[in-house]
Amino acid sequence: VSRRPFIAGNWKMHKTTGEARALASAIVAGLASEGIDVLVAPPYTALTTVADALRGSRVALGAQDVHWERQGAYTGAISVPMLKDAGCTHVIVGHSERRELFGETDEAVARKTRAAIDGGLVPIVCVGETLVEREQARTMEVVEREVERALRALSPAEASAIVLAYEPMWAIGTGCAATPEQAQEVHRAIRRFVARSHGDDVSSALRILYGGSVKPDNMRSLMAQPDVDGALVGGACLEAASFLGIVQASGAA
């Protein structure tokens, strides 16, 4: 099975609109590699600006979170129709920072995943263990639980249309990425788990991204792993040169 490489940049809480326009334009201008799906996920306030800068390019636009209701009295929240209106095709769901810092539960992640699919956005569903959980040899248990809860209510067709991201929390923003072997071990386990829950076809079509201190330097060896299909990049996506370096490295595996 050939799965198209997918490189997504999660800008987190960075970039004013002016900075966002400059970064998006530089990414569009510098993008060479064909055959790789590329996405940027700026903060909400920069979505329309970045959509404008990306117009006519093959860089896709995603948001970093979404609420499951379409509208209503949910102060501070943003809905799927609003994200589509802003030009998004994708949305990150269940990022560990949302889970850890904002108390997002597996149930909330499942509702957001469902809402995204129903509303026509591709969810990029994030899972991953803490350092303590890894040290207690509970990585697979935690990751499988998160995958199971997020995918439980999805039909096989729905499940094959999403993207998963494995982001071990100890590797996020630490400069200490998982080794290619560590990433592959978990990616393979996730793929086997999805094969049992949703079937072999879904499992082999499903793209699983790795996230956590991905840099141009380590992308190639991560990408060389059979079950690593791309990356969800944080810090290194905030400058065009390093993000484009990662895109390029992902194509040369």
Residues that bind ligand 13P (CB under 6 A): 10, 95, 167, 172-173, 211-214, 232-236
Largest CA distance in the chain: 48
The least CB distance from residue 73 to ligand 13P, in Å, is: 30
Contact in structure between 215 and 246 (CB atoms under 8 Å): yes
The least CB distance from residue 98 to ligand 13P, in Å, is: 10
Q: Which helix (H) or strand (E) holds 210?
A: strand 207-211
Alpha helices in the chain (DSSP H): 17-30, 47-54, 80-85, 96-102, 106-119, 131-135, 139-151, 156-160, 180-198, 200-205, 216-223, 240-251
The least CB distance from residue 37 to ligand 13P, in Å, is: 16
Given the complex with ligand 13P, which of 68 and 210 has the nearer CB atom? Answer: 210
Q: Which one of the listed residues 67, 167, 187, 198 is annotated catalytic?
A: 167
Given the complex with ligand 13P, which of 190 and 236 has the nearer CB atom? Answer: 236
Q: Which of 109, 82, 81 is nearest to 93 (CA)?
A: 109
**Alpha-carbon distances of 25 from 21, 51, 84, rounded to whole Å:** 6, 10, 21
Annotation says 146 is catalytic: no
Given the complex with ligand 13P, which of 202 and 211 has the nearer CB atom? Answer: 211
**How many CB atoms sit inside 10 A of residue 214's CB?**
32
| Calpha distance 110→97 (Å, rounded) | 16
Residue nearest to ligand 13P (CB): 234
The least CB distance from residue 5 to ligand 13P, in Å, is: 16
Up-side HSE of residue 16: CA atoms within 13 Å toward CB?
A: 2
173: left (phi over 0), alpha (psi -120 to 50) or beta: left
The least CB distance from residue 116 to ligand 13P, in Å, is: 17
Annotation says 198 is catalytic: no
Q: Which one of the listed residues 67, 90, 95, 187 is annotated catalytic?
A: 95
Q: Which residues are catalytic?
A: 95, 167
